Amino acid sequence: MIVDLNLQNKLVVVIGGGNEAEKRISSLLKQNCSILVISDSTSTKVNKLFKAKKIKLKKQKIQDIRFISEFKPHMIITTTNDKKLNHKIINASKRKKIIAYSSDNPEESDFSNPAIIDFDNTIQIAIFTGGQSPAMSKKIKAKSEEALKELITKEDIAQIKIQKIARKFAKESIPSHTQRRECLRKIINDNEIDQLIKDGQIKDAEKRAITILRNWK
Ligand X SMILES: C[C@@]1(CC(=O)O)C2=NC(=C\c3[nH]c(c(CCC(=O)O)c3CC(=O)O)Cc3[nH]c(c(CC(=O)O)c3CCC(=O)O)/C=C3\N/C(=C\2)[C@@H](CCC(=O)O)[C@]3(C)CC(=O)O)/[C@H]1CCC(=O)O
Ligand Y SMILES: NC(=O)c1ccc[n+]([C@@H]2O[C@H](COP(=O)([O-])OP(=O)(O)OC[C@H]3O[C@@H](n4cnc5c(N)ncnc54)[C@H](O)[C@@H]3O)[C@@H](O)[C@H]2O)c1
Q: For CA atoms 68, 89, 20, 17, give the dihedral sign.
A: positive
Q: Can residue 104 be called a binding residue for ligand X (CB under 6 A)?
A: yes
Residue 204's alpha-carbon distances to 61, 157, 186, 187, 201, in angstroms, are 55, 16, 16, 13, 5
Q: Can residue 138 be called a binding residue for ligand Y (CB under 6 A)?
A: no
Q: Can residue 135 be called a binding residue for ligand X (CB under 6 A)?
A: yes
Q: Can residue 129 be called a binding residue for ligand X (CB under 6 A)?
A: yes
Q: For CA atoms 172, 180, 32, 75, give the dihedral sign.
A: positive
One character per residue 11-50, x = contact with ligand X (rule: CB under 6 A): ------------x---------------------------
Q: For CA atoms 84, 88, 94, 97, give the dihedral sign.
A: negative
Q: Can residue 112 be called a binding residue for ligand X (CB under 6 A)?
A: yes
Looking at the DSSP assignment, which residues form a beta bridge with residue 37?
Answer: 14, 57
Q: Can residue 55 be called a binding residue for ligand Y (CB under 6 A)?
A: no
Closer residue to ligand X in complex, CB, 77/193: 77
Cβ burial 105-128 (10 Å sphere, 16+ → b, else e) = eeeebeeebbbebebeeeeeeebb
| Residue 132 site contact among ligand X, ligand Y, none (CB < 5 to 8 Å, cut-off depends on kind) | ligand X
Residue numbers of the site for ligand Y (CB under 6 A)? 15-21, 38-42, 61-62, 79-82, 85, 103-104, 134
Q: Which residues of the shown chain bind ligand X in the complex (CB under 6 A)?
A: 23, 104, 106, 109, 112-115, 128-135, 137-138, 141
